[in-house]
Amino acid sequence: MKKAIFPLFFCLFIPAFIFAQAEDKKRTNDIWLCPGGETAFYSLSGMAYGGGFSFGYGSGTSIGLKAAYFYSPEGTGTFELNFLFRVYLLGASAYSGPFIQLGGGPVFFFTDDSGGDLPIEKGAISAGLSAGWRFLFGDRWVIEPAVRGGYPYLFGAGVSAGVRF
């Protein structure tokens, strides 16, 4: 029984103690949620338009996930699921200002005649680099304009608005 108590104490109370200290030192960790709208040059005939949702953790550097859906006027839908790695250029404790972000993950393509049926027959691996700026309003609200380039899209731009905890 005593052998089981130490791992339980370590797993439950040590992380709580670390996070409590972080709160006392003016928030060294950052969790953010940002829905947004974007355009991306996926098709040969023009831009695809859509939106997505980003979730991330960390200040100075952040990791996270982004899911986005785009639709082009020619009838092609695109679903992206990207894993994110973000670096703020103002230092190790920054959570606003200029940033560079790497993103990558699966991307799936739908056509009007497929209707988004499963299993999806067309997909690729997406990889890209984004540059943007996080504007902070108060201590919680953010707006993030960004541009990006990569594969299978050529380039894109968007703006997100969200909240940080």
Q: How confident is the model at residue 161 (pLDDT cuts 50, 70, 90)?
A: very high
Residue 93's pLDDT band (boundaries 50, 70, 90)?
confident
| C-alpha to C-alpha distance for 72 and 75, rounded to whole angstroms | 6
Question: What pLDDT does residue 121 have?
Answer: 67
30 DSSP 8-state letter: -
- Confidence grade of residue 18 (pLDDT, cut at 50, 70, 90): very low
Mean pLDDT of 26-32: 72
User: What is the Cα–Cα distance from 81 to 77, expressed in whole angstroms?
Assistant: 14
pTM to 2 decimal places:
0.77
Instruction: Report residue 130's pLDDT band, with 50, 70 and 90 as the boundaries.
Output: very high
Nearest to 130 by CA among 108, 145, 110, 146: 146
Average pLDDT (2-23) is: 41
- Of residues 110 and 159, the one with the higher pLDDT is 159
Rounded CA separation 79/108 (Å): 5
What's residue 19's pLDDT?
A: 42
What is the C-alpha to C-alpha distance for residues 34 and 120, in angstroms, rounded to an integer?
27
Mean pLDDT rounded to a whole number for the chain = 82
Burial class of residue 113, CB neighbours in 10 A (0-12, 13-18, 19+)? exposed
User: In terms of Cα–Cα distance, which of 23, 134, 141, 145 is closest to 87?
Assistant: 134
In the block, residue with structure tokens 């996926």: 42
pLDDT at 68: 96
Cα 73 to Cα 87: distance, rounded to the nearest angstrom = 34
